[in-house]
Structure 1
Amino acid sequence: MDTLENLRSKTEGAKDLKSVVSAMKAMAGSNIVQYETAVSSLADYYYTIALGIVAYFKAEGIEGISEKAVSEKNSEDAICAIVFGSDQGLVAQFNDAMANFVTTSLKALPGKKELWVVGERVALLLSDEGFASAKLYPVPNDINAVTPLVTEILSQSQIKQQQHEGTRFYIFHNKPNAVSGYTPVMQRFLPLDEKWKENVEKTEWPSKLLPQIAGTPKPTLIALINGYLFTSLFKACVESLASENASRLEAMQRADKNISDLLDDLNTKYHRLRQSSIDEELFDVVSGFEALKKDSTKD
C-alpha cells in the first residue's frame, strides 16, 4: 500500500524523468531544424546540378542511355542496398518500419542481395529477417559528419561497380512527410539509366538560349554525375536524420504527456492520503478530548 513517503519518492522520480524528456525534446527539435535546413539547401544545389546535366544532354545531342544487360550468371550478385537507420533508441517504429520496408522490397527483387547499413539498430532488425550487413556505418551525430560518411559510401559504391558492372544499387531511407511523420522510400542509385535521364530532363531549361559546355565534355559530365550522386546520398542521409529526430520528438511528446498524467495521479493520491492522515489525527484529538471531558465530568 502507498504511503506518503512512497508517493513523495515516486513524484520526485517522475519529475526527474520529465526533466530528461524535456531535454531530449529540445535536442530533437534543434536537430530537426538543422537537418531540414540542409534538405532545403540541397534542393537548390540539386537544381543546379540537374540544369548542368540537361545542358550537357542538349549540347551533345544525347537522346537516350543504354543500360548494359546483366547476364544470368552475374545476376546472382546484382543487388546492393544502402539502408539508413539509427544507432539510438527512443525513436518509436522508425527502425521497425524501415526494416519491414527493406525486407519486403528486397524479397520482390531477384538475385543475391548485399546490404550496406547506416545504423546498428536497423542492422540488427534486418539480421533477424535473414539479411546480414556486409558493411555497417555509424549514424552521423551532426550535420558536419554527414559529408565524410557520404563520401565513403560513394567511393565504395563506385569501386564495387567497377569490379562488378552488373551490380545495381538502391537507397532505402525514411523521408519526412509534409505535415508530420515520415514514409520509407526506395530509389535507384546506380547505374544511371534511361529512366534516370527522363527524371532529370523534367527540369526545364530556364532560358530560350541553347546551353553550351565550357571545357572538355567528358570531365564536365563526370563532375556533374559525381555531384548528382553525392547529392542523392547526402539528401537521403539528411532526410533520414530529420525523420529520426521527428520520430524521437513525437515519442518524447507522448512520454511527456504520460509523465504529466502520472504526476497528476500521484499528486491526487498524495493529497488524498495526506488529507486522510490529517482527518485521522483530528479524529484522534477529538476522541481524546471527548474522553478527557467525560472523565472530568465524572469527577
Structure 2
Amino acid sequence: MASLKEVRNRIVSVNSTQQITKAMKMVSAAKLRRATDAITQMRPYSKKLTEMIATVSANAEGAKENPYTIVRNINKVLVIVVTSDRGLCGAFNANVGKAAVSLIAEKYVEQQAAGNVEIMALGKKGGEYLARRGYNVNTQYADIFTKLSFANVRIAAEAAMNGFEEGKYDVVELVYNEFKNVATQILKTEQVMPIVEKKDDKVKASSVDYIFEPSEEEIINELIPKALKLQIYKAVLESNASEHGARMTAMDKATDNAGELLKELKLQYNRSRQAAITNEILEIVGGAEALAAA
C-alpha cells in the first residue's frame, strides 16, 4: 500500500491537472464560438456560389474546356490533409490521418507504390502522422493555423491549383473534419480537381434566368478558381471549428475523470490514515499493558 505522503502527492498532482483541463475547456469554448460564427457565415456564401456555378456551367461550353475540369489518366496524386497544430483533442487528428491512409489504399495504391502520391499538410499533426508512416509529406503550409485567414489559405490553394494546371498532379483530394456540433465531427473526403459533376440533391442548378456580361464562358472561368479556393478555405474553417469542439469534449471528459480519480485517492488516503491511527492506538495500548504487567 502506498504511503500517506505518496497519496497526498498524487492528490496534489491530479488536482493541478484538473485545473489545467478545466482552463483548456474554457479556452476551447471561447474559441469555438468564434470558429462556429465564421463557418456559419461562410456556408450560405459557399452554397450560393456552388449553385451559381452549377447554373452557369450547365450549358456553357467554356466550362468544359476550363483547365480545372480536364480529366487525365491518374499518375500523380495530391492529398490535402487538414488537421490541427496541437493535440489533446481526442481522436480528431488520428481519424483524419486514418481516412487519408484509407483513401490512398483504396484508390491510389499503384500511384503510392510508384512514389507519386504527395501529401499537403494543412496543420502540423496530420503531416507528422503521415510522415511517420512513410508518406511523402509537404509541410510548407503546415503552420496555416498560426494565423488563420483567407489570404494564407489562398496561397496553399493556389499551389495545388497551379500544380494541377501544370500537370504536376492529375487529381487533388481533400480530407478534413466537417463541424456538426460540439460532440460530433464528420470525416469528409472530396475530390477538388478535376471538377466533376456531382449528383447531389442538396446542390441544384438555380432556375434563375441570368443575363451574362461579358459572356458565360468568361464568367465561369472567373468563378471556378474562386470556388476552388473557397472550397479549401471552407474545409479549413470546418476543421478549425471541429478541432475546438473535439478539444472541448476531450477536456471535459478529462476533467470528469480527474474528479473520479480524486475521489478514489481521497478515499484511499482516509483509509490509510485511519489504519495508521489504529496501529498507533494499538501500540500505545500494548505498551500501557506491558508497563502495567511489569
Task: Give the TM-score band, short-chain normalised.
Answer: 0.7 to 0.9
Are residues 1:114 and 2:118 paired? yes
Deviation at 1:36, TM superposition (A): 1.9
Residue aligning to 2:86: 88
Counterpart of 2:206 in structure 1 is: 204
Tell me the amino acid that sits aligned with residue 152 of structure 2: L
The amino acid across from 1:125 in the alignment is: Y
- Equivalents in 2 of 1:201, 1:165: separation in Å? 30
Equivalent runs, 1:214-225 vs 2, <5 Å = 214-215=213-214, 217-225=216-224
- Aligned amino acid, residue 147 of structure 1: F
The equivalent residue for 2:27 is: 27
* 2: CA distance, partners of 1:19 / 1:200: 45
CA contact (8 A) 2:84 2:145 kept: no
**Is the partner of 1:145 in helix, strand or coil?**
coil
Say whether the 8 Å CA contact 1:90–1:248 is kept in structure 2: yes
Q: Structure 2 residue aligned with 1:131, among 128, 135, 139?
A: 135
1:219 Cα deviation after fit: 4.8
Q: 1:70 aligns with which of 72, 75, 87?
A: 72
**Quick one: structure 1 residues 228 and 272, their matched pair in 2 at CA, closer, same or farther if it must change by over 3 Å?**
same
Aligned partner of 2:263 in structure 1 is 264
Q: Distance in 2 between matches of 1:201 and 1:238?
A: 20
Shift of 1:261: 1.2
Identical columns (%): 20
CA RMSD of aligned residues (A): 3.1
Paired residue for 1:240? 239
Counterpart of 2:13, as a letter, is G
Deviation by residue 1:33-65 (Cα, 9 ceiling, x = unmatched): 22222221111111332343245347xx42783
Moved more, 21-30 or 269-278: 269-278
Larger radius of gyration: 1
The alignment covers a number of residue pairs equal to 284
TM-score, normalised to structure 1, is 0.80
Determine the C-alpha separation between the residues in 2 that align with 1:237 and 1:137. 12
Counterpart amino acid of residue 103 in structure 2:
S
1:67-120 Cα offsets, whole Å, 9 max, x none, are: 54425xxx432x211111222221222222222211121123243312111233
Partner of 1:170: 173
CA shift for structure 1 position 283: 4.9
- 1:92 counterpart SS class: coil
Return the alpha-carbon distance in structure 1 between the equivalents of residues 51 and 243 of structure 2: 31
Mapped partners of 2:203, 2:286: distance in 1: 93
Give the CA deviation at 1:281: 4.6
SS at match of 1:138: coil
**CA deviation digits over 1:149-200, x for unaligned, max 9?**
311112212221232176211111122345733232111112223x149779
Gaps of 5+ in 2: none
Hey, what's the Cα distance between the residues in 2 that align with 1:190 and 1:213? Answer: 26
Q: Distance in 1 between matches of 2:144 and 2:70?
A: 35
**Structure 2 residue identity aligned to 1:183:** I
Unaligned runs of 5+ in 1: none
